[in-house]
Chains A and B, each alone.
Chain A
Amino acid sequence: MTSSIRSRRRPLPSPRRVSLPWQAIIDGLMLLLWAAMLLRFTVTGQIYLLLHPDYMWLSHMAMVLTFGMGMGRMWQVWQVVRLQQRQGGPRSQEHIALLPRRVSTGLLLAVAVFGLIYTPRPFTSETALQRGITEVLSQTRSRPQRFVLSGASEDRTIVDWIRTLNVYPEPEAYAGQAVNVSGFVTHMPGWPDNLFMITRFVLTCCAADAYPVGLPVELPPGTPRPAPDTWLEVTGRMTTQTLDNKRQLVIGEAALTEIPQPRTPYEY
């Protein structure tokens, strides 16, 4: 085999005193930071604001993979430094189609660092209004083939109530049943001052498809209406009322207890 070097895009790097493979070091750092970001989301429980629990193992897997790749990269760096060779990662600028290497590395690093600092927030009443709180009697989204209701009506969550109503939508059937649900306060436009919606977001897979569900709450006379986004536990009894020209189930005789925002603010 004959070898002839035809042309060279750039001169070979001149020998320098310190020849650290910076590219590979930054790659490794970036991957380890991603693993750290995912670890932080998991440890702080913020992952519950991002993903449905069923898919969390995927992010755990991603954490392990990025950690493994990062460590592998760092190990290569160590080998290179130890052997005093200068062959870090593949130097292949041509491989990159859309973004220059520095831009992509910078983006990944920036997002990882930002993810280590930023605290995701659960969605609020404003988003619930924007996305349209699922009307109790009309469009329910998820239709599980079966769901188990515990015997006592006060054990049902908001989602359980909505699903129950979807199966048997006659509000009168539930009048008088005891209710104990928790959620945050949403003020519906056009409702009188003694009414608000106790609301929860439901996830089917990740925050991108969170949708709100809610039950109207009627306050006893004289009780001030709580501020939007206050987390409450509401106990009371189901009554029916005509709201927005529709007969609806409303939580009456409501007793409100303020609670801290739960660790898992969404329901599933």
Chain B
Amino acid sequence: MVQLNNGITLFFSLLVEAMPFLLLGVIFSSVLLLFVDEQKLLALMPRNVLLAALAGGLIGFLFPVCECGNIPVARRLLMKGAPTAVAIGFLLAAPTVNPIVFWATWIAFRDQPEIVFLRVGFTLVVAMAVALIFSAQADMRPFLQDNLARMMGDPAAPPAATGLQGGSPSPAEDEAISPLLRSGTFLMQSPGQVLQLDAPPAQVLAQVTGAPPPLRLRFRMMVDNMVLETRELGAVLILGSAIAAFVQVAIPREVILSLGQGPVTSILAMMALAWVVSICSTVDAFFALSFASVFTSGSLLAFLVFGPMIDLKNISLLLTVFKGRAIIYLFLLAAQLTFLLTLVMNLYVG
């Protein structure tokens, strides 16, 4: 009974803490959707894959949201046709590489500035590496949830991919997935172009280029979109928080803590803890600080770098974008890279 009460209290604690960031993310995402011309933003993205990945990571400075908030934005970027490198770079780096998180980490680790800067550095390295690996896949859609992939429309050769591969997908591939073969209500536009009427309003809006609707309508659509995303992502956040709360109650913390003081085990333990606790990147620095006296610097960094990328709570959010297989790849790549980097830090620096 006590355990149940603790679990429920933890559950509400996580929810109340994460909900504001989720709402901020949803608001940023909706504003971005209707008031920022992403085509222009994306057109500014460098063509080189490496630079595109870096740029994707740095977009976080425009959208200071944590990992519960950046997934709607990443989803939006993908829908608007962002190159894979930009989207993955943003997804992995944005929760950490943004002013609010930098500030929070600085407050927490003022006396260990190397942690603050290495956190940003390692995150960018891992995000760029994973983004490069995913860019090798010309068409992302097999990795994405079906309805998102459908919304992405034709995979015109992603500008970033051409830099690396120098070739565009054959026209036959494009033809094979003509929008006319999909179900739904369509309006014929200029030859070869259709407008899907029963897509979400914002999506329809995005397809109608050249005629921005009046401000009042855009505002209404923004509210619609905010409510819609709050409903979807909020429900998923509830499930994730429930799982995180009950796992935390069920596994004694000492089991995780006793795993390690050593250079290897401490990193593994902190990564496991980051995964279980699912704490928001904006406040996780303070949480990590509470382990500062017990754990190696490398393992604290592992917590701070890996936690915001993938944890128990946001796996359910990631499932709104990616299929399970892609999430497993993301998870494994991010975990291995974080582990290697922080192990080097433990063995040679710390």
Residues of A within 8 A of B (CB): 1-9, 27, 30-31, 34, 38, 41, 47, 49-51, 55, 58-59, 61-62, 65-66, 69, 72-73, 76, 89-92, 94-99, 101, 103-105, 107-108, 111, 115, 118, 120-124, 126-127, 130-132, 139-143, 145, 204-209, 211
Contact = CB atoms under 8 A, between A and B. Distances in A.
> Most chain-A Cβ atoms within 10 A of its Cβ — which of B254, B277, B289, B290?
B290
A61 B303 CA distance: 28
Q: Is the interface of B mostly helix, strand, loop or mixed?
A: helix
8 A-B pairs closest in CB distance = A104-B235, A207-B13, A141-B290, A62-B20, A58-B20, A92-B200, A50-B13, A97-B320
Given A5-B186, A97-B147, A143-B292, A104 B231 contact: yes
Interface in B241-265: 244-245, 248, 252-254, 257
Contact of A4 (B17, B27, B188, B294): B188
A37 to B, nearest CB: 9
> Most chain-B Cβ atoms within 10 A of its Cβ — which of A58, A95, A123?
A95
Interface of B: 2, 5-6, 8-10, 12-17, 19-21, 23, 27, 110-111, 145, 147-148, 150-151, 180, 183-189, 198-202, 220-221, 223-228, 230-232, 234-236, 238-239, 244-245, 248, 252-254, 257, 277, 279, 283, 286-287, 289-294, 316, 319-321
Contacts of A141: 289-294
Contacts of A143: 289, 292-293
A105 B290 CA distance: 37
B4 to A, nearest CB: 10
Contact of B16 (A38, A139, A145): A38
Contact of B231 (A9, A65, A108): A108
B320 A103 contact: no
Nearest to B21: A58
Given A95-B232, A108-B234, A209 B290 contact: yes
B223 A72 contact: yes
6 contacts: A8-B185, A27-B227, A55-B283, A59-B16, A92-B198, A205-B279
A97 B144 CA distance: 10
B16 A50 contact: yes
B254 A208 contact: no
A204 B287 contact: yes
Given A9-B183, A95-B200, A104 B16 contact: no
